[in-house]
Amino acid sequence: KDLARDVIALINAYNIDKAHFIGHSMGGYICQQLALDFPERVRTITIMSAGPLGTTDDSEKPLTLDEKQTVQKTWDLFLDRNDGDTIERTVDSFIPIWKHLNGNADFDEVRARDYTIDLLMRTKHRVTAGNNHELLMNKLYETMDERKNIVFAIRVPVLIIYGELDPLVLPSRCQCLVKTISNAICEPIHEMGHMFFSNDIENKIISNIVKFLDQH
């Protein structure tokens, strides 16, 4: 809710009455919160690589053994990461994670390194990259049951994009969102994982978003 209010404060500063919002991963959850709390300020939302903001009947179904193993492998990579004492070494520690999250698409390591450097350097605060992000997402998951079926109330136009090989927010969880939001347009992307360090995948994402926005 705090981050959704921050977004509204930003568009207020630019004197924007209504906007199209696009959110990836945690940003996809923020988009859902915007649509629920500030529908009068939202033209559309595009949710990428994210599940429902609250639990649904479908999302409460247990994961399969293969799904559990996929998620565990992903979190093991995060937990086993050893950040170095320099930017370069810390960037090196992220590359195996980004490769894993990239699905089966071509992996642009230069793009991944530039992304990670930006992630590390954009703030003056010396906090391990991703700590606050991970803490916030953990808090979100812990309180999902308090918001069961809340996304049924979303009425703005919605585009849902997800990778068919996402090892973090599993395709089955993204499908829960598709089933919950009425009239949402869904665009699964073949070979895409959770991230998209790939020109081909990025172009597919852009094409889907542009087509959707042209309709609204």
Give tens-digit pLDDT for 121-135.
Answer: 887 765 555 666 667
Give residue 131's pLDDT.
65
Query: Tokens in use for 36?
Result: 């629920």
In angstroms, the CA 60 to CA 57 distance is 5
Give residue 140's pLDDT.
67
Please tell me what DSSP assigns to residue 168. S
Say how many residues make up the chain: 216
Does the pLDDT value for residue 104 go beyond 70? yes
Name the nearest CA neighbour of 154 among 59, 55, 31: 31
Predicted model pTM: 0.90
- Per the prediction, the chain carries an average pLDDT of 90
Query: Per-residue pLDDT averaged across 186-207, rounded?
Result: 97
Residues 6 or more apart in contact with residue 69 via CB below 8 angstroms:
none
